[in-house]
Amino acid sequence: MFSAGNFSGIKFEKMHGNGNDFIMIDEFDKEIVREDEKPLFASIYCNRRLGIGADGVIFLQRSDVADVRMRLFQQDKSEAEMCGNGIRCLVRLAHECGRISGGKCTVETLAGIIPITYHEEDGFWVRVGMGKVSEISRLNINNTEVFAVDTGVPHAVVFVNDLDFDIEKKALPIRWSKKFPRGTNVDFVKIDEWEIVVRTFERGVEGETLSCGTGAVASAVVAKELGMVGDEVVVRTKGGVLKVSFEEDTAYLEGCAEKVFKGIIV
């Protein structure tokens, strides 16, 4: 088992998108954390009592097919395909480090190449092209109606009338259902007129996060398909407000990226 001292001297930034928080490391010019040690690094420093504390560690890297590349590792040592809140933080870091400019870029992820636009009016705002809306599957898991949709990562959307409940108890049977071979995030959604309120249990984190960007999109996609919302959707999470919009069959996610602090591991 590595101790914190094995990673001493590493510079990082802490950022969040709607309370979904990340340890950010710039590896554009050189590798900072060895490839085989990245999962372990995440397991140590995402710990909120014994480490820095975060929902994940994001590495900004050079890409051969896009302007920049995003790698996201979580506390359970898994590497996630994509993250709608995390990619906004990555774009802010890339912009402030001089890796991108001009208000738009592309980001390579395990879920594909993501088109981005951003601006710095009233904060640092990022619009993420989430791609074409995937097919929605309707499932029954433990007598619960579940809508499965992939927005870069797998999501299970459940509509509820009340969001005041033990989310872990409700989410775990769905999160580990054999109907999701890769596992799944679980989004509980309440319709509030033409807006939606979402609580998300995230795989990899293995708990509720204050916000989930891909979960906001998944929830909006299903709600729109069922005629509950229109082409522009306000999504309220515990961490704040996100906006999801649809142009033909493509979904877009818009939200902020906030800096928290910088540090050096000692």
- From 46, 105, 212, 256, the catalytic residue: 212
Active site residue 46: no
DSSP three-state, residue 193 = coil
Give 141's contacts (C-beta < 8 A, 6+ positions apart).
156, 173, 174, 177, 179
d(CA 8, CA 121): 36
d(CA 107, CA 98): 15
Q: Facing residues of 243 across strands? A: 234, 254
Inter-residue contact 162 to 190 (CB < 8 Å): yes
d(CA 180, CA 129): 25
Give 35's contacts (C-beta < 8 A, 6+ positions apart).
none
Run of H or E residues at 96: helix 84-96
- From 83, 89, 105, 256, the catalytic residue: 83
Active site residue 97: no
Per DSSP, the residues of 24-55 read EEEESSS-SS-GGGHHHHHHHHT-TTTSS--S
The one-letter amino acid at 88: R
> Which residues are part of the catalytic machinery?
83, 212
